Structure formats: C-alpha cells, structure tokens
Amino acid sequence: MADNSSTSPQPLSNLPQLNRFVTGHNPEGKAIVHTHNPFTWAAYDDNNLAFSVPFTTSTFPPDLNDDADIAAHEQLMASGKLGLVNPRGTVLRCVDFAPGYSCAMHRTQSLDYGIVIEGEIDMVLDSGERHLLKRGDVAVQRATLHQWVNKSQTSWARMIFVLQDCQPLVVAGKEMREDLGDTSALPPSGN
C-alpha cells in the first residue's frame, strides 16, 4: 500500500463529510459536548483508500477522569505511531474504499467490528470464502486473514471499524500474529 500520508479536512471520496461529537461534563456534572469537529482524512494507496480515526483508547477499561482518555488520544494521534490496532486499547476508524479497489490481504491481532455505512463491499477470507456486505451489515473479524473489495466501478464504499486489542490467538499450534501484507504503508501495531 503506497503511503500518500497526506491529510485533509475533506473526504477523499464523494461521500459526505462526517463529524465527531465527544461528550463530557460541565462543573455541575451535566452532560455537554466537549469537542465537535469534522473528521480528518489520510489518503493511502494512490488515493484509493482513505482513513479517519475519530477516537482511540489506550487502556482498558479507559480512564475518563480529568479527560485522561482525550489527552491519551490526542497524544497518540500526534505521535504518528498508531498502527491498525492500539495495543491494550481500541481504535475507531472510518475507511473509504474507491470504486474497483481491493486492499491487501491482512490480519490484525484484534477483535474488530466492521459496519458498512455506504455502498457494498466484499469480505474475502484466505480460505477462499467471499461474502457481500451491504449497508448496515456487520463483520466481526476475529484475527482472521481477510481483504475488502469494492466491486462497484462507480461508487465508493464506506465502513466504520472498532478495533480492539486481543490476547494472542493460537490455532492448530500456530500463533495468528498481525500480518499487514507485503505492501502496507502502515506502522505495525506492536501487539
């Protein structure tokens, strides 16, 4: 995956811009919106793939006291060292897939919830299984080797992922470690 590493306040795709609303409390303990801002996007793989990371946590369970979780998220994002997974934490990531695009076959050492919110996308597994996911469908990825394929030649697809670090998985005596494929421009997760 060629890393374009460019960031933009606008989506790479023609899909609508999304906004993040982070809540908190005022001094009287009433709920407020702490932060409201549009997603920021990073382009990858010759502008065929775009990521936005609205939030991460770095501990489980997260510490919300004195906005420790917000500070940890901002520090992690500023470091530029976030892989697909955040060790001992979670990642909320929005991904846009260009028409006709297939990402590399990959595995994360994580339990992931992937929800299709725009378009349709094929989930291809290393066993050869292929499943079409439509808007609203959810994939629960359990450290499996997979890829995402947008078969549409005209429409972008968009998914929201929640990636959660997991214990090392051993199947038939083999540890199922992170495998980002030969062409990934993303840093390894380190979990």
- Residue 184 token pair: 């990934």
C-alpha distances in angstroms, 38 versus 19, 69, 163? 4, 19, 21
Query: Rounded distance, CA 62 to CA 38, Å?
Result: 23
pLDDT for the residue 4: 43
Question: What integer pLDDT is reported at residue 9 of this predicted model?
Answer: 83
Cβ neighbors of 122 (< 8 A, separation 6 or more) are: 130, 131, 132, 133, 148, 149, 150, 151
Q: Report the run of H or E that residue 69 belongs to, with start and end.
A: helix 68-79
Model pLDDT, residue 6: 66
Q: Tens of pLDDT along 80-120?
A: 999 999 999 999 999 999 999 999 999 999 999 999 999 99
Q: List pLDDT tens digits, range 126-182.
A: 999 999 999 999 999 999 999 999 999 999 999 999 999 999 999 999 999 999 987
**Can you tell me the distance from the alpha carbon of 114 to that of 142, in angstroms, rounded to the nearest whole number?**
11
Contact criterion met (CB below 8 Å) for 160 and 119: no
* Calpha distance 141→149 (Å, rounded): 15
Whether the Cβ atoms of residue 145 and residue 105 lie closer than 8 Å to each other: yes
- The domain segmentation of the chain, as residue ranges, is 3-175
What amino acid is encoded at 90 in this protein?
T
Residue-level pLDDT at 106:
95
Helix (H, G, I), strand (E, B) or coil at 131: strand
Residue 117: name the closest of 140, 134, 97 by CA.
134
Q: What are the pLDDT digits (tens) for 19-51?
A: 999 999 999 999 999 999 999 999 999 999 999
pLDDT band at 184 (very low <50, low <70, confident <90, very high): low
Q: Domain 3-175 is in which class?
A: mainly beta
- Total residue length of the chain: 191
Flag whether pLDDT at 2 surpasses 50. no
Confidence of residue 5 (pLDDT cuts 50, 70, 90): low
Mean pLDDT for all residues in the chain? 94
First to last CA, the chain: 21
3-state class percentages of the chain: helix first, strand second, coil last, to nearest 5: 10, 45, 45
Residue among 55, 92, 95 nearest 77 (CA): 55
pLDDT at 3: 45
Lookup: tokens for 13:
């795709």
Q: Could you give the CA distance from residue 77 to residue 99 in angstroms, rounded to a whole number?
A: 28
